[in-house]
Amino acid sequence: MENRFYLRDLSNFSVAEGTSRKFFIDRIEILVGVSCMAEEVGRITHYFSKISVAVIEVTNGSLKVGDTIQIKGATTDLTQKVDSMEVDHASVEEAEAGQSIGMKVSDHVREHDKVFLVNE
């Protein structure tokens, strides 16, 4: 199991006066060896279990083929690359906020799971 920390998980930590939160995050990245930065880009609105396809509503920023995402929910914790995605059964390279995309996923996901863009 991978150890991952995200900026949202560190919101309750206080840092010494005069020390920036960015400095604190950078130190954790060095110690743990993973990126601490992830941006929430959307949520799962549907999952087709027979074909392992998730419908993701992009709510912030954009998603591109080749990006690494993490899908996180109450019982879900999945990290994978975006190999391909479709909008209205047409293959697309990028999806912007407001669009819903279909994407093959490697494990079961659930409605309302959050989707994060992992900055590596």
Give the number of residues written for the chain.
120
Model pTM above 0.85: no
pLDDT tens-place string over residues 71-84: 998 899 899 999 99
What percent of the chain clears pLDDT 70, i.e. is strictly above it? 68
pLDDT tens-place string over residues 86-107: 999 999 999 999 999 999 999 9
Taking Cα atoms as reference points, which of 62, 79, 64 lies closest to residue 118?
79
Domain extent listing, the chain: 1-36, 38-118
What homologous superfamily is domain 38-118 in, according to CATH? Translation factors (2.40.30.10)
Extended beta strands in 4-76, E state: 38-48, 53-58, 62-64, 68-72
